[in-house]
Amino acid sequence: MNKDLLMWEETLFRDPNLFELDHIPEYFGHRKSQMETLMYCVRPAMRGGRPLNILCIGPPGTGKTTAVNKLFTEIEKITSKVIPVYVNCQANPTRFNVFSRIYKKLFDITPPSSGASFKKIYDHITQELADNEQILIVALDDINYLFHEKEDEKVLYSLLRAHETNPGARIGVLSIRSDTGDDFHFDPKIESVYLPEEIIFPRYNADEIRDILKNRINLGFYPDVVSPDILNKVVEYTTIPGDLRVGIDLLKRSALNAERKSRRKISIEDVDGAYTTSRLVHLTYILKSLRVEEKILLGLVSNHTEINSGELYKFFHRKSGLGYTRFYETLEKLSALKLIDTKFTGKGIRGRSRIITLRYGANEIKKRLRNI
Ligand SMILES: Nc1ncnc2c1ncn2[C@@H]1O[C@H](COP(=O)(O)OP(=O)(O)OP(=O)(O)O)[C@@H](O)[C@H]1O
Ligand SMILES: [Mg+2]
């Protein structure tokens, strides 16, 4: 028997959960100053005051969600007077959704989605906080998704002005924004009430990526599955987008490739093969979050090398039955998510005709849209 070969019931994974992207790691290195600032901002709440508002910003895969999860776990261990509520705005993109999450956390039941007026839910929440002298910290993760739905102003206003309608209600807002290179500012009206402490999450450098991945490898794989050369290759690939998710996904897929060939060690070919999929983990994540009409529009764009907006609208309307306003909003959102480019041609009515192109390979998009 060749002992270099893996038996069919054997595996390279000591703990496969460590390579899942929603896993909260025990070891959270290179984010000490960010964690300290987070703690500093919530400290007033621990003494019964209003916490400082926070805005965490950084490119994808730089530990923002993980940091807030860790902070919230700590708070819950220490006190029941401060209630942290985590809201994923991608899954909850409206004010009603956000307040339903808060309601669920406070009362342990979801308010009925029809029938209950927002005002009723809102009053119930603020009254409960005042009566129990509890302080709420609401994390709005991926707040970008509230901008797309134009719900951000309403959500922030309602949260930040709660104490005006109900003086006993104290709420802090911690928003998390994935910085995809766009030049974004909150509306000046919001800025005057929000004024958050900004916490920057920069991209990890190669040494930091190596250290973090090494820790995962030691805990998640059996010994010697990943040689130093292989680790270097994975680090090299991960620094290209600078998104740690790529590295974690790459380790998982490389190991699965090696297992498929019954080998006990990951080879360079396993990593190269895995990279074609792993480099686009973020794309897959974004596509999964799209609404039906957004997927339809993206699918239509991916059928053409380029298409003008008038023609695209005709196709879109035929397939979805939706009108021009929704078409325009959907186009804007796909552009904000950096899935498509839109360029004015100077032609058409008042030069408003636009040429739409895809920012990814058409096959990459089509394959993913089929599978989600
Ligand atoms: N310092 C770190 N130590 C260990 N693991 C980390 C660290 N930073 C990030 N990770 C891991 O990398 C992955 C991505 O991190 P996270 O989800 O926190 O990124 P993010 O900044 O919220 O990204 P996005 O803007 O795309 O939401 C997670 O699986 C997380 O476990
Ligand atoms: Mg995140």
CATH assignment at residue 220: 1.10.8.60
Q: Give the CA count within 13 Å in the CB-facing half-sphere of 358.
A: 18
Residue 188 confidence (pLDDT) above 90: no
Question: What distances in angstroms separate CA 177 from CA 26, 184, 222, 248, one per listed residue?
Answer: 24, 10, 36, 22
| Residue 273 Cβ < 6 Å to ligand 1 | no
Residue 241's pLDDT is 87
| Residue 97 Cβ < 6 Å to ligand 1 | no
| Residue 62 Cβ < 6 Å to ligand 1 | yes
Residue 2's pLDDT is 66
Per the structure, the count of domains in the chain is: 3
Looking at the fold, whether 92 and 142 belong to one and the same domain comes out as yes
pLDDT in tens, 326-365: 999 999 999 988 899 999 877 766 667 899 999 999 999 9
- The answer to the question of residue 97 being in a domain is yes
Looking at the fold, whether 188 and 42 belong to one and the same domain comes out as yes
Residue 1 confidence (pLDDT) above 60: no
Nearest CA to 174 out of 243, 85, 259 is that of 85
Distance 237 CA to ligand 2 centre (A): 21
Looking at the fold, whether 100 and 56 belong to one and the same domain comes out as yes
| Residue 247 Cβ < 6 Å to ligand 1 | no
Residue nearest atom 10 of ligand 1, based on CA coordinates: 63
In CATH, what number is assigned to the domain containing residue 137? 3.40.50.300
pLDDT in tens, 220-253: 999 999 999 999 999 999 999 889 999 999 999 9
Last residue of a domain, one of 200, 225, 247: 200
Nearest CA to 158 out of 140, 185, 134, 142 is that of 140
Looking at the fold, whether 176 and 325 belong to one and the same domain comes out as no
| Residue 60 Cβ < 6 Å to ligand 1 | yes
Distance 248 CA to ligand 2 centre (A): 15
- The answer to the question of residue 120 being in a domain is yes
- The answer to the question of residue 11 being in a domain is no
| Residue 244 Cβ < 6 Å to ligand 1 | yes
Give the position, in ligand 1's atom list, of the atom nearest the Cα of 208.
1
Looking at the fold, whether 195 and 211 belong to one and the same domain comes out as no
- The answer to the question of residue 10 being in a domain is no
Give the position, in ligand 1's atom list, of the atom nearest the Cα of 69.
18
pLDDT in tens, 50-96: 899 999 999 999 999 999 999 999 999 999 999 999 999 989 999 99
Distance 227 CA to ligand 2 centre (A): 30
Distance 201 CA to ligand 2 centre (A): 11
Residue 32, Cβ neighbours under 10 Å: how many?
A: 9
Nearest CA to 263 out of 236, 295, 226 is that of 226
3-state secondary structure the chain: CCCCECCCCCCCECCHHHHCCCCCCCCCCCCHHHHHHHHHHHHHHHCCCCCCCEEEEECCCCCHHHHHHHHHHHHHHHCCCEEEEEEECCCCCCHHHHHHHHHHHHHCCCCCCCCCCHHHHHHHHHHHHHHHCCEEEEEEECCHHHHHCCCHHHHHHHHHCHHHHCCCCEEEEEEEEECCCCCCCCCHHHHHHHCCEEEECCCCCHHHHHHHHHHHHHHHECCCCCCHHHHHHHHHHHHCCCCHHHHHHHHHHHHHHHHHCCECCCCHHHHHHHHHHHCCHHHHHHHHCCCHHHHHHHHHHCCCCCEEHHHHHHHHHHHHCCCHHHHHHHHHHHHHCCCEEEEECCCCHHHCCEEEEECCCHHHHHHHHHHC
| Residue 29 Cβ < 6 Å to ligand 1 | yes
Last residue of a domain, one of 165, 200, 235: 200
Residue 113 confidence (pLDDT) above 80: no
Residue 95's pLDDT is 95
Residue 191's pLDDT is 84
Q: What is the mean pLDDT of residues 124-130?
A: 96
| Residue 203 Cβ < 6 Å to ligand 1 | no
Give the position, in ligand 1's atom list, of the atom nearest the Cα of 25.
31
- The answer to the question of residue 5 being in a domain is no
For a ligand 1 pocket test, name from 23, 245, 284 the mutation site with the most ligand atoms within 8 angstroms of its C-beta.
Answer: 245
pLDDT in tens, 272-323: 999 999 999 989 988 988 999 999 999 999 999 999 999 999 999 999 999 9
Average pLDDT, the chain: 93
Last residue of a domain, one of 237, 253, 283: 283
Q: What is the mean pLDDT of residues 182-197?
A: 82
Nearest CA to 98 out of 49, 57, 154 is that of 154
Domain residue limits at 168: 32-200
Which is more confident, 21 or 172? 172
Nearest CA to 231 out of 275, 271, 260, 262 is that of 271
Residue 196, Cβ neighbours under 10 Å: how many?
A: 18
Looking at the fold, whether 44 and 79 belong to one and the same domain comes out as yes
Distance 63 CA to ligand 1 centre (A): 3
